[in-house]
Amino acid sequence: MKKQNLFFAAVAALVFTSCEKTEIKEVEKIVYADQAGSLSLTFDAKYGDSDFELNKKYPYQLINSSGTYDMEFEFSRLRYWVSNVKLIDKDNKEHAIPESYYLVEETNEIAVQHLVNGEKYPATKREEVTIKDIPSGEYKAIKFSIGVDQKYNDNIALTAGELGSLNGMGVSDGWMWFTSYKFLTVAGTIHWAGGTPTSKALSWETGSNALFDGGEKAVELTAPLKIDAQNSGKITCNVDVKELLSATDLPWVNNSISQNKKDLMIALRDTFLSKSLTFKEASSVSVEAN
């Protein structure tokens, strides 16, 4: 009789344990569905209809008041800061992503001028940014700035996201002995397709606190994007470098744009935001499918 009682007790314990595990799994599933998700934000660099590549000559026909000229542009660097990311949900509520500072770049090797041991920043290509801990929801738009806001731009020693004096554009590409950031850099060589002189260095850069205001880009999605722990989001923007060249109709004369040419820096910033940087596509992808 005791053995029989023990048997029934064991069976009851097993059933209770099995039910208890099932209940725990259901609770975990409910919590999991409401957890934060992630977003892949890609900036696909192009030159017109072609993929963008460094160290390659691209044709460019310049038309201005003086006539029509056949030129070629060869690039060695394209870099810019994407910052202050905000997602707008279907109810028009903005969700700011904390410490969202990302360096997007395609660059040849860069000598680091302020270091004495000949250190070099390696050749790098980075077009995709992964943003984590996004609140669960459906989003219809994204906003971000090109550049660095005043708090961090005034003190390059501060760290947030990818910012910092020993990171990325801070260590190898800053203004005035690295006391502030360059927001956008395009470098390379301009060539005449025929005639002389044959080539000239290209160095276009934007920066300064004054240029940060007005440097926000809003991208409207074609359909709401679902993001949660079970669905990651993907947003892709095109960056057409050929369109960026239209910032001036005198590129040979204005081959150098920097802090002493504020109007041209503004034109370069505005051209990048309004013409070069455009929405391509967006989608939600099941985490299990990744």
Residues 181 and 285 in one domain: yes
10 and 135 together in one domain: no
Q: What is the pTM of this model?
A: 0.84
- 245: DSSP letter: G
One domain for residues 29 and 95: no
* C-alpha 101, offset from chain centre: 8
CA distances for 34 relative to 23, 137, 287, angstroms: 18, 9, 14
Residues 20 and 45 in one domain: no
Q: What spatial distance separates the first Cα and last Cα of the chain, rounded to whole Å? A: 56
Alpha-carbon span 235 to 43, nearest angstrom: 9
Q: Are residues 93 and 44 part of one domain?
A: yes
Structural contact between residues 135 and 90, judged by C-beta atoms closer than 8 angstroms:
no
Based on the fold, state whether residues 21 and 126 are members of the same structural domain: no
Query: Do 43 and 112 share a domain, yes or no?
Result: yes
Q: What is the mean pLDDT of residues 154-174?
A: 74
Residues contacting residue 208 through CB under 8 Å, at least 6 positions apart = 153, 180, 259, 262, 265
* 69 in the same domain as 207: yes
Mean pLDDT for all residues in the chain: 85
- The answer to whether 105 and 129 are in contact (CB under 8 A) is no
**Same domain assignment for residues 28 and 47:** no
- Please tell me whether residues 62 and 201 are part of one structural domain: yes
Amino acid present at 110:
I
Q: How far apart are CA 78 and CA 57, in angstroms?
A: 15
pLDDT in tens, 239-281: 999 999 999 999 999 999 998 899 999 999 999 999 999 999 9
| Angstrom distance (rounded) from CA 173 to CA 49 | 29
Q: Is the pLDDT reported for residue 174 higher than 70?
A: no
The number of folded domains in the chain is: 2
Rounded to an integer, what distance in angstroms lies between the CA atom of residue 254 and that of residue 31? 57
> Which residues constitute the domain of residue 100?
37-289
Could you tell me if 81 and 183 are in contact, meaning their C-beta atoms sit under 8 angstroms apart? yes
Highest mean pLDDT among 67-76, 105-114, 168-177, 192-201: 67-76
Residue 20 shares a structural domain with residue 89: no
